[in-house]
Structure 1
Amino acid sequence: TKYEKIIGINAFSNNSEYRGFNFFIKDWIGLARQLSLKYPKFLFILLNFSTNSIQYNIDQNANLKVFCNNKNIASLVSISQKLDFLITVDTGNLHLCDILQIPTLAFTSSLAAYRFGGGSYGGRFDKLIVKPAWQKEYRKIYEIFTKKAENNLENL
């Protein structure tokens, strides 16, 4: 099957996890499923890495797949170059896709957003910035992020 667009979804970041600036993995999977159903002509790829203690155990459907990177940066670069859009938490792949000018939506803390503005290399960059204690409005923020993802996909 030939897909119109390839969308990467990266839910993992050791730094974001440690600081509490990430959604639950089940919600990232829910977002991927929801988007894959809404956009059947797009291929969605959940990105992961082999040494991560959390591995996706999902039923992959026609347009929702899992890519598990080994410890090789070349394979991360290779898959990233193929993306038409990246939805991610603040992590190294965010910076890589920024350099490659891959349009990106990032979920990030205000401190990380201050340190990294995104779009510095001429690519399209959107973000949802949250402050400490954002979890008090977790559902609302998750819905806002989901809507931002949909809006970005509509405009690809």
Structure 2
Amino acid sequence: MFNITSHQGNADQNYVQLHATEIRLAITNRKENTVNSDLWFSLPGSPQVALQSLLVCVILFYTVYYLSLSTCCLALRACELDILAPFDFKTRPSWLNTNYKVLLVSTEVTYFVCGLLFALIVEEWVWDYAISVTILHVIITSAVMSEFPLTSHWWAALGT
């Protein structure tokens, strides 16, 4: 404990020594964190953690998409479930077309549910991950369909 009857000079000197020791410990810990490469992978702001979270979000996005797609197919009694349905932007928009309604509803449900789930996974920067997943979805769609989606109804479904 502190000696209350000590001189003011000794108290100031002890205070300075205490803070100097804390600063040395902080510098030592910082050096150990930068030298130890195993800790770099677990730092919250590291690129590896961000990429790992993005991968989890992309996998979750397509899992939710296929689950909502299959649920919509059952609910709307669609005859067929195409494996490439999340990438289909060539289906003509019509409220009489059951396949279009399945695609539209499953897209909207996927984005709504994934927005909530992304908040649980990444806790911060949810918009960044949602936009990144959407950009990756556009890139994958372009690769799968061998052309860039230019249909306005497809973009409107992504933007709602």
In the superposition, the TM-score normalised over structure 1's length comes to 0.24
The structure with the greater share of residues assigned to helix is 2
The structure with the greater share of residues assigned to strand is 1
In the superposition, the TM-score normalised over structure 2's length comes to 0.24
Structure with the greater alpha carbon radius of gyration: 2
